[in-house]
Amino acid sequence: MPPKILVTGAAGQIGAELVPALRLRYGNAQVVAAVHKAPGAEALRAGPTVTLDVVDEEAISKAVRDHGVDTIYHLAALLSAVGEDKPDLAWEVNMKGLKSVLDVARRSGVKRVFWPSSIAVFGPNAPRTMTPQNASLIPTTIYGVSKVSGELLCNYYFLKYGLDVRSLRYPGLISSEAPPGGGTTDYAVEIFYAALEKGAYTCFLRKETALPMMYMPDALDATISIMETDVARVKLHGGYNLSAMSFSAEELAAEIGKHVKGFSVSYAPDRRQKIADSWPMSVDDSEARKDWGWSPKYGLPRMTEDMLSRLGRRLKPQKDV
């Protein structure tokens, strides 16, 4: 029997691509897309949808009951840059939302929960390159604090209630479908739109700022793969380090410049620079590779080519690609 899935945050950058990927795999009717206030993208309506606030435990419970849900992908959250602007709301949505989902899951007999953590769990005192799985977790953003607390809560629910929660520390995600929702790595998506639409981009990070990144097809693969892995192979229920590529803003600009003639980038660091400076430049994901066979397919050149080709078909290019 295919799983019956509820995806919260379904209209976000990840949900907009994870929902169609899950529906392709398990069938449209098997995947319920939960959106917040907005109706959500047209594509989400290819299967069942619900509208709910993740801090409302009863609303989650009703969605699980009404649709016979046995698996939850809990994506709804406030991201790093928005979180620093609204720390109280970030704590409320990220922590109360997660606890509500976990409580509904354990009481309703939900078999498995996916919850994304982030490289934001690390702070400036962790090694900045090839940051190990077990580096100290002292983040300096409320987003990072909520992710560390969330990891601990997920692990606690696994130990205390036997709830099978699985989690990945996503790096910055680059994708061509839905725009990113207010994180510190958003520049790596914006830059592609700007290259194709204007031939120029002003980056909000310094040019030498390097961060761990991943292309969305790899993130979807990793997510579905850890959720389908036999429970015996999942050794960590808090959050696996996950890695694909690492590059600076300047290196990404140069790679795009190989395809977009005359593309120019200037740099005007803003408040997000401080967040980026507190995060790893690259992470060591050997535990994920060893435990459940993780391996990414996209590096910088292949991701850049694919992004430009997908966006080029959608946008009217003003520059030759």
Ligand X SMILES: NC(=O)c1ccc[n+]([C@@H]2O[C@H](COP(=O)([O-])OP(=O)(O)OC[C@H]3O[C@@H](n4cnc5c(N)ncnc54)[C@H](O)[C@@H]3O)[C@@H](O)[C@H]2O)c1
Could you list the residues that contact ligand X (CB under 6 A)? 8-9, 11-15, 36, 53-55, 75-77, 79, 93, 116, 118, 170, 172-173, 180-183, 185
Q: How far is the CB of 10 from ligand X (least distance, A)?
A: 7
Q: What is the 3-state secondary structure (H, E, C) of 259-281?
A: CCCCCEEEECCCCHHHHHHCCCC
In the complex with ligand X, the residue whose CB is nearer, 13 or 304, is 13
For residues 277 and 319, which CB has a smaller minimum distance to ligand X in the complex? 277
Q: Answer yes or no: are the C-beta atoms of 210 and 131 closer than 8 Å.
A: no
What distance in Å separates the CA atoms of residue 304 and residue 253, rounded to the nearest whole number? 10
156 labelled catalytic: no
- Parallel/antiparallel/unpaired status of strands 210-215 and 245-248: antiparallel
| Choice between 143 and 263, CB closer to ligand X | 143
Residue of 26, 73, 143, 170 with catalytic role = 143
Query: Minimal distance in Å, beta carbon 136 to ligand X?
Result: 19
Please tell me whether residue 58 adopts helix, strand or coil conformation: helix
| Closest distance of CB 215 from ligand X, Å | 11
Q: How far apart (Å, rounded) are the C-alpha atoms in residues 94 and 8?
A: 12
Euclidean distance between the first and the last CA atom of the chain, given in angstroms as a whole number = 45
CA distance 223 to 74: 12
Whether 73 contacts 31, CB under 8 Å = no
Answer whether 155's CB lies under 8 Å from 238's CB.
yes
- Please give the backbone phi and psi of residue 46, each rounded to the nearest 5 degrees, phi first: -70, -10
Q: Which residue, 153 or 321, is less far from ligand X as judged by CB?
A: 153
Q: Is the dihedral of CA 58, 63, 67, 71 positive or negative?
A: negative
Min CB(14)–ligand X separation in Å: 4
Q: 174 vs 253, which CB is nearer to ligand X?
A: 174
Q: Least CB distance from residue 32 to ligand X, whole Å?
A: 13
Catalytic residue IDs: 143
